[in-house]
Structure formats: structure tokens, C-alpha cells
Amino acid sequence: MRILLQTTIPSTPDDWSIERFSMLHGVLASDGHEVTSRNKEERLGAIDRSPFDQIWLFAVDDGSGIDEDECAALTRFRRSGRGLLATRDHQDLGSSICNIGGVGAAHHFHSRNPDPDPSRHVRDDRQATTIDWPNYHTGQNGQYQRIHTPAETHRLLQRRDGSSIEWFPAHPHEGSVGVPHGERDAQVIATGSSVITGHELNLIVAFDGDATNGRGIAESSFHHLADYNWDTRAGAPSFVTDPPSDDVVCDPDRLEDIRTYVRNAALWLSAR
């Protein structure tokens, strides 16, 4: 598979640039995929005419990362039968992706496309006082969170022995995703819970694809896939002030679950 890992910001060393997703790149490349990792140094208005089989889009911008024409090109990319994963983080971080057909509409932000349930328009994380909802606290960076799957586990979340993946990297302020209104091929396949309030949150929405669209994945936080959350010794931008945990460093074996998910996603996104 020809896989593009793409951020929505230009190269910025002290930010969540693509260099901070190098471990993800390594897992995909080790399976023989042709992986390109890049920041947004040029517009994505013609991305649907690119040779890539799938795009993993990391929306790490302040809300102005990609414009409507670029969202339309990404929509056309998926309509051509190819796969798209789009992930973001808390509040309005990455909210420029809202207008991507289907996968973008699955993302709920503070100022754009808010969660249709008004009871969720409240802060969950109390640690970062400058971050507003959605900001679900599933644990510190460097910790694991236990994920929950439906009775019939989706193929994306199955280990090789058929058992269900249980562990994802945690993050103190994850975003919000849900099945867009009218989407018949989408379903929530994994949920988590806040360690602060106990509230449940959706972690992954999967779009199975149809005769019109390729497959898609919407994730509540790019921190599930960031180097820092796989190994806090990799470091984070200077604006990250949340105290990290050494849970993953001391018990790295459970990271195999997120690696399994990554490998599953690469194969599943390009299947028709």
C-alpha cells in the first residue's frame, strides 16, 4: 500500500509536526508498505489526483489548517474508493477537517460541529484550565487506557488470535467523535471512559465504505499514534505541561495492541 501520513501544519519543530509520528511510520514501513510522511508545505487541493492508496491525516492545526477546497479534494479522494483516516484532539484543535465528507463530519469540536448532545458541552479534564470541551481525560500521557468494544469486535480491533484489543495510549484531553446523521455505513467500534468523571467517550468511528466511498476512520485523538504517547522519552512540544506517566515505559508489552490496530488499519482501509 502507498500510505501518506500528513499533518495539517507546515513543518514546525516545536509543534506536533510529522516527525513526532516516526514510530507509526516505522510500524507501517516494517510491514512492507510504501510510507510517505510529510507536513503541509503545499495545498492539498489536488490530493485526489495523487497516487496514494490511503491518507492518515493528523489535524494538529488551530482551526485553519486546510480550507474548503482541500476538504473537497479529500472527500473526492475517498469517493475514488481509497481510504482515509482523520484524527484530531481537544476543543477546536484540528477543526479545519469538519467539511471532509463523512469522516470529517464525524468529528465534534467546541466551535464547529459540536456534539449534538448538549449534556456533553462541559469540561471533563480539570487539569488543563485553558482547554475547554471536548476534553475527555482518559489518563496521563504515557499511560494506558482500557478500551471497550461491542460484543462483535470489529476487524480493526482484533488480535491475530481473534481476541479483542484492550489497550490504547491515554491522553488527558481527548476530542469527540460520533456517527454523522444519516451515515448508514458508519459505526462506533471502540469507546473509552474518563478517569475524572467516568463519562464514556467514543474513540473510533469506522466507515465501512460502499459503492460510492472508500473506507474511513475517525479518531478522537492523534495522541493514540504519537511518539510521545508510545514512549514519553521521545519528548513533546514545549507547550505540553501535563505531567507524564511512566506506565508505558515500565510496561511496554501492552503497546502491541496499538501496533496491531495500526497494522489492521493499513490493510482494512484499502480493502474494497
Q: Which domain, by its residues, includes 198?
A: 2-269
Which positions ≥6 away from 57 have C-beta within 8 Å?
6, 7, 8, 74, 84, 85, 86, 87, 97
What are 199-211's pLDDT values in tens digits?
A: 999 999 999 998 8
The mean pLDDT values, 10 residues at a time, for the chain of 272 residues are: 98 98 98 98 96 98 97 98 98 98 97 97 95 98 97 95 97 98 94 97 96 95 98 98 96 98 97 74
User: Is residue 93 within 8 Å of residue 64, measured between CB atoms?
Assistant: no
How confident is the prediction for the chain on average, in pLDDT?
97
Helix axes 256-269, 22-30, angle to 10 degrees: 60
Instruction: Give the pairing type, strands 2-7 and 216-219.
Output: unpaired
What does the pLDDT read at residue 151? 83
The number of CA neighbours under 13 Å toward the Cβ of 218 is 27
User: Mind listing the pLDDT tens digit for each residue in 167-200?
Assistant: 999 999 999 999 999 998 999 999 999 999 999 9
Between CA 109 and CA 231 the distance in angstroms is 27
What's the CATH number where 82 sits?
A: 3.40.50.880
Prediction pTM value: 0.97
CA distance 97 to 103: 9
The gap from C-alpha 247 to its chain's centroid, in whole angstroms, comes to 21
Domain count, the chain: 1
pLDDT of residue 272: 65
Cell numbers for 71, please give them: 476538504
Backbone angles phi, psi at 68, to 5 degrees: -65, -35
Kindly state the percentage of the chain with pLDDT values over 70.
100
